[in-house]
């Protein structure tokens, strides 16, 4: 078996190299976060201008919302990346990931506002998601059926209710667990 050649050793980085590498890593992470944030902000802007209806309803604004989202995404990203490149990512100031994320978010919001997004549009998707508008519209037939079933079950004892539910579960082929 031939003798193995030793690997050449890389010189150990000095403090200046370490700081430069840290700055580059922080800036790279901030760029990735800004790209993600530009997509979120573009979607927020689109939802702010063309609000979503309740799920299950006809959405006449779907196409204009999609066009707005796609149209502003690139401009927000370019503006955010230019702000991120110009920013000083000092490792002393951004020693924790949370600090970098907060600063990148702030820069991305500034970039979105600079390309015309209303300041109050940020967070429109999250606001819609927690609003009553995000709950699906109940189907009328299902609601009527549920009321009829509840009316029937109300007049039965607990054992009779379990029997009825088990029989119904056999019909629709699902499991009913006793509580």
Both structure tokens of 143: 């609601």
Cα gap 158→164, rounded to integer Å: 10
Per mean pLDDT, which range of 48-62, 68-82, 99-113 is the poorest? Answer: 48-62
Which pTM does this prediction carry? 0.65
Tell me which residue has tokens 């700081």: 19
Both structure tokens of 80: 């955010």
Q: State residue 100's pLDDT score.
A: 92
Q: pLDDT by residue (tens digit) across 139-173?
A: 655 566 667 777 777 777 888 888 887 877 776 66
Cα gap 174→167, rounded to integer Å: 10
| Distance from the Cα of residue 100 to its chain's centroid | 19
Q: pLDDT by residue (tens digit) across 75-102?
A: 999 999 999 999 998 888 888 889 999 9
Dmax (CA) of the chain: 89
Closest by CA to 133, choosing from 41, 46, 68, 59, is 59
For 6, phi and psi rounded to 5 degrees? -70, 145
| Distance from the Cα of residue 158 to its chain's centroid | 43
Higher pLDDT, 160 or 121: 121
């Amino acid at each position: 078996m031939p003798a193995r050649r030793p690997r050449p050793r890389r010189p150990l980085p000095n403090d200046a190299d370490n700081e430069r590498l840290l700055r580059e890593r922080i800036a790279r992470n901030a760029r990735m976060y800004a790209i993600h944030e530009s997509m979120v902000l573009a979607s927020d802007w689109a939802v702010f201008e063309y609000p979503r209806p309740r799920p299950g309803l006809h959405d006449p604004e779907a196409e204009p919302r999609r066009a707005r989202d796609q149209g502003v995404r690139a401009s927000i990203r370019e503006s955010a990346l230019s702000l991120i490149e110009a920013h000083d990512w000092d490792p002393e100031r951004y020693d924790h990931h949370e600090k970098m994320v907060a600063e990148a978010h702030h820069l991305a919001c500034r970039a979105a506002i600079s390309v015309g997004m209303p300041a109050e549009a940020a967070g429109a998707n999250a606001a819609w998601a927690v609003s009553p508008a995000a709950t699906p519209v109940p189907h009328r037939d299902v609601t009527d059926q549920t009321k009829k079933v509840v009316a029937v079950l109300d007049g039965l004892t607990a054992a009779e209710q379990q029997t009825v539910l088990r029989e119904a579960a056999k019909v629709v082929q699902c499991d009913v667990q006793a509580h």
